[in-house]
Structures are given as C-alpha cells and as structure tokens.
A and B are shown apart, each in its own frame.
Chain A
C-alpha cells in the first residue's frame, strides 16, 4: 500500500513539474494548451478509494494552480473529474473484476481507451474553460480553447500510451 502511494507520489511530482516547466509554455494558435496532468487523475485504478482519489485530484489541482497563478481553477475542475472518474471507468471496464486494473490501452483495448480518454479530457476542458471564462462574451475563444486543448491533450496522452506499450 505504501509502495503504491510512494509511486503515485512520484508520478504526481513528475506530472506537476512537467506541466509547470514545459507544457504550460506551449500554446498553439493562442487557444490550445496540453493539459497532461489529467492523465494522472484518469489512471486511478478500479477500486481505488474514492476519498483518496478526491484528495489526489485536489492536491494536483492545487499545485497546478500555484504554478499557473489561477487559484481555485484547476483544483475545482480536477476534484470534479476525480469524483466522476470511478463511475466512468466502471462504465467502460464493465467486464473486468476489481483490484487495481489501471485504465490503459493494454487493459481496455485501443478503441475503448480512446473513448474513455476523450470523454474525460473533454469534460475536464469544458469545466475548466467555462469556469475560467465565466461568461459568454468571447464564446469563440472559449469554444476554441475547449476543442483545441482537448485534441492536444489527447495527442499527448495517446503518444504516451503508445510509448508505454
């Protein structure tokens, strides 16, 4: 249990640093930024205690907020995603049993994983950019951000998964 926590903490640190130092600088066409930290929340294994997931998600969001100077933005959206992630995972992983089946291409197959990923990432970007904008005055930018960031993040996630395979 502690080994897992340690490994998770290491991944947590890695994702935070990667996002803060590298990925936050990338902004394509002024709308799309890769939000790779969602991958951390996405890959909570099946049966992971919900309160732990919430706490990890909140912590990740907090750190990202510290580095991006947007207090409360990422933490609120990430906590929400961390809350609904188990339920979504159950939807996609319906045949599997319990005990730490991490969602990945290996366990779910490419098609299912891709659908799962796109759902979570799109939901996260939607919530994030809606809260960020908080109005519909500049709806083209808002829409563009959602779509652009979703696609870019997905690109990174799929690349990472393929590399891990």
Chain B
C-alpha cells in the first residue's frame, strides 16, 4: 500500500499529464457536440466580451470614415426628398392650389376685414351691408371679396357702414376671364337661383370646357386679377348668336356670408381715374368734331 502511494506521488505529474491529455482529446473528438462547442467556443461570455471591447476600439478609430459616408448618404436622401416634394406638389388637388393662389393675390393689397350685418338673396336687386365705413377707410367703388371668391362692389358709404352691390344684383357687371386663358366676359345675374350666374359676351373662338374655373380678369379696375368667381356649368348661345353665354356656379355662398374683405388698392384708384379722364376727353373730342 505504501509502495503504491510512493509510486503515485513520485510520478504524479505523469498521471496528471495523462489526465489532462485525456480531457483534451475528449474535447477534440467531441467538439461536434452541441453542449461542448457552445461551452468552449467563442460564444463563451468571456471571449465575447473581450472581442466586443476590441470591436468598440476598432469602431472608434473608423469613425471619421463613417462620418464621411453618413454625410454623403444625407445629401443623397435630401435630394430624394426634394424630388418627392416637387412630385407631391404637382399632383396635389385643385382646391388647395386655388386657395393658395388667392391668398397670394390678395396679399399684395391692403384688406379691410368686415362682417356682414344685413344680407338678402331672394330679391331681384340684393344689397349687402357691412360694419365698416368711411372711418375705416372704405370708399365707394372698392371691391369686396371673401375667402371663397368675389362678393361685390361698394356702392354707398356712411361713417360706420357701407352698402355693397353683390354679384346677385341686376346691375352688377363684373369682368371675368376663364382661368388659363385671356378670354373675358361680363358676369351678370338674373333673379332666380342665388348660386348661379351668367358670363356674357364670351367670344365664339374661345377655347374652354365645362368645369373650367372663372376668375376676375383684372380689367374692371375694381378687382385684382385671379380671384375665383365660379365654375362653368353649361354653355349656351347668346341671344344674338354672336357669342357664348356661360352658366357659372358661383364659388361664393351668398346665403351664409359673414366675413368679407374690402380691397383697398390705391393703384387701382389711379388707373380708374386715368380711364375716366380718357373717356371724358374722348367724349369731348367727339363733341368737338
């Protein structure tokens, strides 16, 4: 027994060697085994952690290159956004485009906001009263518009109130043109439907179709160019057969009018005075002749 112990202690390292080699060989031949490979492979937490730290350090040193790549990618993406935005704008519906254009048009003038205090739509000659007058800068022959289109022309002004001849009046004559073309005619109204008016004197060679928008032409020197009036509904021949008569559905809803704006355009007043002077001088000339 003692001899055995002596033998063992003297050659202990050989036994240890055999044991360790056996362990290694077992590992070697069983590395296909799932448990063994996951235990001793790189997915071992320790190895993974150390490799993670190394990867962080390497990643830090490559940051400048990554920055350049990201900037380039940003520029490419911004170009794409620009293209998409342009495409979106071109495909956008008609209503938003019309409102935007109208606001742009109106911003060039001074607008006097007013509220309608009296209105009528059933008479033959309807009149609208607004709560702004001469003390607010309203003068006769100024144009009045609302968010959806034209309303009328200022007729009489007192200190605090003004009376407007709307489009729904026998006597209103507002010069309108077909949007997109320069062909123009006069807006008239016959007693009946308060949402329908007629454009007279549209030349027969004018090109238009049903559904086209009618807007103010800018020739009347009361309204600036481009304010929407309505949409073409039907096309008739005029009474004498020499021009068209367009039935227009008005874009302004006169039955529920509340907020309007009076257009204060000083240039238009000058133009109007010049035209009146020209008319007068022509009349004088004919008389003289």
**Which chain A residues have a beta carbon within 8 Å of chain B's beta carbons?**
17, 20-21, 49-51, 53-55, 58, 61-62, 65-67, 69-73, 75-76, 79-80, 83, 131
Contacts and interface: CB of A to CB of B under 8 A. Distances in A.
A72 B27 contact: yes
Contacts of A80: 21
Contacts, number: 69
A65 B24 CA distance: 10
Interface of B: 12-13, 16-17, 20-21, 23-31, 36-37, 40-42, 44, 46-47, 50, 54
A75 B13 contact: no
10 contacts: A21-B54, A51-B16, A58-B23, A65-B27, A69-B42, A71-B27, A71-B40, A72-B24, A72-B25, A76-B27
Contact of A131 (B28, B37, B40): B28
Contacts of B50: 17, 20-21
Contacts of B12: 51
B40 A66 contact: yes
B44 A66 contact: yes
The binding surface of chain A is classed by DSSP as: helix
Given A66-B44, A67-B42, A75-B23, A54 B28 contact: no
A135 to B, nearest CB: 14
A20 B13 contact: no
A51 B37 CA distance: 27
A143 B24 CA distance: 24
Closest 8 pairs between A and B when the two form their complex, measured CB to CB: A72-B28, A72-B27, A76-B24, A50-B13, A71-B31, A75-B24, A71-B27, A58-B20
